[in-house]
Amino acid sequence: MRERRRLLRRKAAARRLARRLLPVRPVALSLVLLLALVAGTMARPVHPPTPLAIAPIVVRSPLKLPAVYIHAALPKPRSAPAPRPEWKPGMGVAPAGLTVPVSLTAYCLKGTTRRGRYVRPGIVAADPNVFPLARYLEIYIGKRYVGRFLIDDTGGAIKGAKIDIWTPTCREAVLFGRRKGIAVLVPRGAPSDTGPMPDVANLMTYVRRR
């Protein structure tokens, strides 16, 4: 009798549990189906689509054009300025743009210049009675343009139409020696990009080629 009652109780509990799980049954079934679909997709190897091989098409034109060659334009070397009225001894300060025949030398002294700045490439010593300090000079040796220099120094032996170019070593100053050239005082307010500031390497290259 007791066993029968236990069995009936278990069946009643199972029926109550089934009634409670009845609303959840569709969701559980959908979840099981989704898991099965994902598992099947992951297990299936994915192969990229095979590209189609298409034979190249060659089209030949009956027209023949002559060969065309393109050459880059080479920069024109800067040459000496056209002949102008020249400065002569006794004329005082050289006007801007006037060609002045000069004697060129080089020096290698260390320290500061007449204007209180340290010596450096790109400066020259000149006679302030001919070439004022803090102005720029464009120097030519023969027909070759050497560069634009800043007048930043003076010297006891630099009188008249003489210019002393600073170099970092005395050996370079000796190699430069004494040369004849032309100097043109740059007008005030002239653009700074009209002439390159020279460096010692360019100056020494010119010396070696001579």
Q: Are residues 105 and 199 in the same domain?
A: yes
Residue 126 lies in a domain: yes
The stretches in the chain having pLDDT less than 50 are 74-75, 193-196
* The amino acid at 44: R
pLDDT at residue number 69: 53
Residue 202 lies in a domain: yes
pLDDT at residue number 20: 72
Residue 16 lies in a domain: yes
The range of the structural domain enclosing residue 12 comes to 2-43
User: Total domain count for the chain?
Assistant: 2
Look up the CATH number of the domain holding residue 163: 2.40.40.10
Q: How far is CA 49 from CA 9, 40, 46, 130, 193, in A?
A: 62, 20, 9, 85, 62
Q: Are residues 114 and 202 in the same domain?
A: yes
Burial of 133 (0-12, 13-18, 19+ CB in 10 A): middle
Closest CA to 187 of 97, 87, 82: 97
Residue 88 lies in a domain: no
Residue 190 lies in a domain: yes
- Alpha-carbon Rg of the chain, whole angstroms? 47
Q: Are residues 39 and 104 in the same domain?
A: no
pLDDT tens digit sequence for 146-191? 888 999 999 888 998 899 999 888 888 888 889 999 999 998 877 6
Is residue 154 within 8 A of residue 127, CB to CB? The reply is yes
pLDDT at residue number 70: 55
Residue 59 lies in a domain: no
User: 10 Å Cβ neighbour count for 140?
Assistant: 20
Q: Are residues 119 and 23 in the same domain?
A: no
Closest CA to 94 of 46, 122, 120, 131: 131
Q: Are residues 107 and 185 in the same domain?
A: yes
Residue 189 lies in a domain: yes
* The amino acid at 178: R
Residue 151 lies in a domain: yes
pLDDT at residue number 82: 55
